[in-house]
Amino acid sequence: MSEHVRVRFAPSPTGHLHIGGARTAIYNWAFARRHGGTFILRIEDTDPERSTEENTQAILRAMEWLGLDYNEGPVVGGEYGPYFQTQRFASYADALERLKTAGASYPCFCTSADLEIKREAGRIQGGFAGYDRTCRSIDADTAAARIAAGEPHVWRLKVPEQRGDIVFPDAVRGEVSFPVDAVDDLVLVRTDGTATYNFAVTVDDVTMAITHVIRGDDHLSNTPKQILIYEALGEPVPVFAHLSMILGADGKRLSKRHGATSVESYRDQGFLPEAVMNYLALLGWSLDGETTVFSRETLAENFSLDRVSRNPAIFDDEKLEWLNGVYVREMSAQTLVDQMVPYLQAAGFLSPEEVSTRRDWLLRLAPLISERVKRLDEVVPMVGFLFADTVVIEESALAKVLGKEGAGVALDACRETLAGLSAFDAATIEAALREVPERVGVKPKVVFQAVRVAVSGTTVSPPLFEVLELLGREQTLARIDVARKYAVE
């Protein structure tokens, strides 16, 4: 690509960044990186009722969490700013002036009541129910006089009479065509002087020198209108790439009905940004048709629009979890500790000082967990017993394990063995405890399960000998003493 690529992600802060928006952002980011281009974040905050500062902040946080760094946008600024639509009204006014001068826009004095009657008439005739262009034929002097007299009016685009169908090559969907008579003389500027959505977006894309518009296909029907605006302004039309929808497992468009879909809710559930990024990249794009695990660098080096699928992608929670598990397993112990500490703190397991004073201990815990969790929030229930003062033994474990014949004898023997060890590391513990079953004539399974239940309260826990080492001798013996009271001889 010889021209300098400039792409933008343009969320409306009417909600948090959701999965679909994040994928659009990722593709724009990757496309810019692949071509050494510029990635721009533009906040489309013109809907005053639904746009909030809180949502803007949430979008910025989610972008940062995903590692989607932008070259221009809020906070970082840039030459083409400001990057909030509400701060760009002057450029919309300038663009309207250009269109007026070019004779490509005309004032329309029809009231909403007039328009409703016209639309209804159009519908009854079975024709196009758009604007019938009544005001297009008002001569310039009359229009000027009516404006001077203060008559309320909007400004419409004068769609050229001779214009054929609107056809454009979409980088994902191939050639897309809209019949020109399906396009109204659309309103560019409302009675109150504000720009309409399509006008603002197009003017922004022109003034920000956007070369490629990569966005969700829910905007496809806006594209012919926007193309007409580019043409009226005499500006080059960018390349469009419309991304197919993301569907839930039920085949319906992904929405709140499918549970939490905001990026931050995935963060809160213990998903890693690398995994979310990797998974979303795969929702409609493939590296080579087989590789599922790849880094952001690989994505940035290889992304291309011609490998983006035209078919809707299905969001599969299980696959995302699986992928997250892959990333958790590949993490170094240091990183995993950093990642799990906030969860342990939120659960009240670690005080701020303990985050550093117990770091070595946490580093020994990390490998026991990494193979066993897919999401980081699973760490809390899995290791809670290590932080508890006393263990609550599950009802079922009482019956199934401590109620087994030989459990009491086994606990006594293990206690004695552990109390006498010269060192309390997993290897020494293992070697010593492995001799117990034969010595006391109780099945190994009964022996080890009894100890496991005694220290953890449940029948499933991370590897036993390592757990005992982490608990330390004193805690281990104390817990065995408590469990002993419930064990049968």
Q: Which stretch binds ligand GLU (CB under 6 A): 5-13, 106-114, 156-164, 386-394?
A: 5-13
Contacts of 78 (CB under 8 A, 6+ apart): 40, 71, 72
Q: Which is nearer to ligand GLU, 284 or 406 (CB)?
A: 284
Instruction: Tell me the backbone φ, ψ of residue 313, rounded to 5 degrees.
Output: -100, 150
Is 203 one of the binding residues for ligand GLU (CB under 6 A)? no
By CB under 6 A, the residues from 459 to 478 that bind ligand GLU are none
| Shortest distance in whole angstroms from residue 14 CB to ligand GLU | 8
Catalytic annotation, pick one of 100, 256, 400, 445: 256
Structure tokens at 290: 């087989």
> Contacting ligand GLU (CB under 6 A), which of 215, 404, 415, 479?
215
Total residues contacting ligand GLU by CB under 6 A comes to: 7
Instruction: Tell me the backbone φ, ψ of residue 217, rounded to 5 degrees.
Output: -75, 0
Q: Is residue 404 annotated as a catalytic residue, yes or no?
A: no
By CB under 6 A, the residues from 265 to 324 that bind ligand GLU are none
Strands (E), 24-72: 38-41
Q: Which is nearer to ligand GLU, 215 or 296 (CB)?
A: 215
By CB under 6 A, the residues from 8 to 37 that bind ligand GLU are 10-12
Mutual angle of helices 407-419 and 426-433, in 10-degree steps: 130
Is 201 one of the binding residues for ligand GLU (CB under 6 A)? yes
| Shortest distance in whole angstroms from residue 62 CB to ligand GLU | 14
Structure tokens at 328: 């958790």
Q: Which is nearer to ligand GLU, 242 or 415 (CB)?
A: 242
Is 44 one of the binding residues for ligand GLU (CB under 6 A)? yes
SS3 243: strand
Q: Which is nearer to ligand GLU, 11 or 37 (CB)?
A: 11
Q: Which stretch binds ligand GLU (CB under 6 A): 7-15, 181-189, 317-325, 417-425?
A: 7-15
Is 380 one of the binding residues for ligand GLU (CB under 6 A)? no
| Shortest distance in whole angstroms from residue 311 CB to ligand GLU | 21
| Shortest distance in whole angstroms from residue 214 CB to ligand GLU | 8
Mutual angle of helices 464-471 and 359-370, in 10-degree steps: 170
Mutual angle of helices 464-471 and 473-484, in 10-degree steps: 110
Strands (E), 232-348: 239-243, 246-247, 313-314
Count of CB atoms situated within 10 Å of the CB of 348: 10
Mutual angle of helices 197-207 and 89-101, in 10-degree steps: 90
Binding string, residues 236-265; x marks residues near ligand GLU by CB under 6 A = ------------------------------
Q: Which stretch binds ligand GLU (CB under 6 A): 6-14, 55-63, 377-385, 421-429?
A: 6-14
Q: Which is nearer to ligand GLU, 16 or 219 (CB)?
A: 219
SS3 154: strand
Q: Which is nearer to ligand GLU, 198 or 449 (CB)?
A: 198
| Shortest distance in whole angstroms from residue 219 CB to ligand GLU | 5
Structural element, H or E, at residue 170: strand 166-170
Selection from 266, 285, 287 nearest residue 374 by Cα: 266
Amino acid at 161: E
Q: Which is nearer to ligand GLU, 10 or 362 (CB)?
A: 10
| Shortest distance in whole angstroms from residue 365 CB to ligand GLU | 43
Residue with tokens 């709140």: 256
Q: Which stretch binds ligand GLU (CB under 6 A): 4-12, 71-79, 128-136, 473-481?
A: 4-12
SS3 296: helix
Q: Report whether 301 contacts 281 (CB < 8 A).
A: no
Chain mean position to CA 478? 46
| Shortest distance in whole angstroms from residue 85 CB to ligand GLU | 9
Q: Which is nearer to ligand GLU, 204 or 469 (CB)?
A: 204
**CB-based burial label for 264 (10 Å; 0-12, 13-18, 19+):** middle
| Shortest distance in whole angstroms from residue 10 CB to ligand GLU | 4
Is 219 one of the binding residues for ligand GLU (CB under 6 A)? yes
Q: How far apart are CA 386 and CA 457, in angstroms?
A: 10
Q: How far apart are CA 458 and CA 392, in angstroms?
A: 9
Strands 38-41 and 6-9: parallel
Is 51 one of the binding residues for ligand GLU (CB under 6 A)? no
Q: Which is nearer to ligand GLU, 241 or 451 (CB)?
A: 241
Q: Report whether 467 contacts 386 (CB < 8 A).
A: yes
| Shortest distance in whole angstroms from residue 42 CB to ligand GLU | 8
Q: Report whether 350 contacts 341 (CB < 8 A).
A: yes
Q: Catalytic residue numbers?
A: 256
- Binding residues for ligand GLU, rule: CB under 6 A, are 10-12, 44, 201, 215, 219
